[in-house]
């Protein structure tokens, strides 16, 4: 089957992408790892001993990076509705984090530990219809914020990927309501033409 022009362009951009090449060289699971790495280096986000929850974790790049930073004394729990190749040291729960059964599994893994950091690099399956995709992505980030508010310790932090567009300003305002400080980050590894940015909420009120 012949590939469409747009998918040929995407494949070319993907394989010419220096971050894709760098990820392959370093053995990272995805180029997205560099986004978290850059934000972490700037904001000193992940420290040894922390409990980190990674929402929408597959293929596992962020969980892998977080695991190396929290060390043996820390805990990383990855959740996704998609399967994920196991990562030694990461607790993976396959399922929808809105469901009680999945949340119970999370409580069991945490064993009373407070969550210090919630990460979310989730995005919906893109249809190519701008308004539909934006609504889908805002729905996901609202779910992630709700999860963070219910599970973070006092002073906990929340990093989430958000697409700029309808609903973005209201979401930013909601984060400012709940966190002492909210900053926007656009890592170098995030493609310039992409509307994605990362919002970092520091210190749950």
Binding site feature residues for S-adenosyl-L-methionine: 60, 62, 80, 96, 121
- Catalytic-residue membership of 161: yes
Annotated catalytic residue, options 161, 180, 186, 205: 161
Place of tokens 């709940």: 178
As annotated, the binding site includes 60, 62, 80, 96, 121
Rounded to an integer, what distance in angstroms lies between the CA atom of residue 182 and that of residue 191? 22
58 touches 84 (CB < 8 A) = yes
Q: What is the DSSP letter of 156?
A: E
Count of other CB atoms within 10 angstroms of residue 186: 15
145 touches 173 (CB < 8 A) = no
Query: According to DSSP H, which parts of 27-157 are helical?
Result: 32-43, 61-70, 100-110, 130-151
Rounded to an integer, what distance in angstroms lies between the CA atom of residue 197 and that of residue 183? 10
89 touches 83 (CB < 8 A) = no
> Mind telling me the catalytic residues?
161
């Amino acid at each position: 089957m012949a590939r469409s022009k747009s998918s040929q362009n995407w494949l070319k951009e993907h394989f010419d992408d220096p971050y894709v090449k760098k990820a392959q060289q370093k053995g990272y699971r995805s180029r997205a790892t560099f986004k978290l790495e850059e934000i972490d280096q700037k904001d000193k986000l992940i420290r040894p001993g922390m409990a980190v929850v990674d929402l929408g974790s597959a293929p596992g790049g962020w969980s892998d990076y977080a695991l190396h930073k929290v060390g043996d004394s820390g805990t990383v729990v990855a959740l996704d509705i998609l399967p994920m190749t196991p990562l030694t040291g990461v607790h993976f729960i396959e399922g929808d984090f809105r469901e009680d059964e999945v949340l119970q599994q999370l409580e069991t893994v945490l064993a009373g530990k407070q969550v210090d950091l919630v990460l979310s690099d989730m995005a919906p399956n893109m249809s190519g219809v701008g308004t539909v995709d934006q609504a889908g992505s805002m729905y996901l980030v609202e779910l992630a914020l709700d999860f963070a508010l219910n599970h973070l310790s006092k002073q906990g932090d929340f990093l989430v990927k958000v697409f700029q567009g309808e609903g973005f300003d209201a979401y930013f305002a909601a984060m400012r309501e709940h966190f002492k400080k909210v900053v926007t980050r656009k890592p170098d590894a995030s493609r310039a033409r992409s509307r994605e940015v990362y919002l970092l909420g520091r210190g749950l009120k």
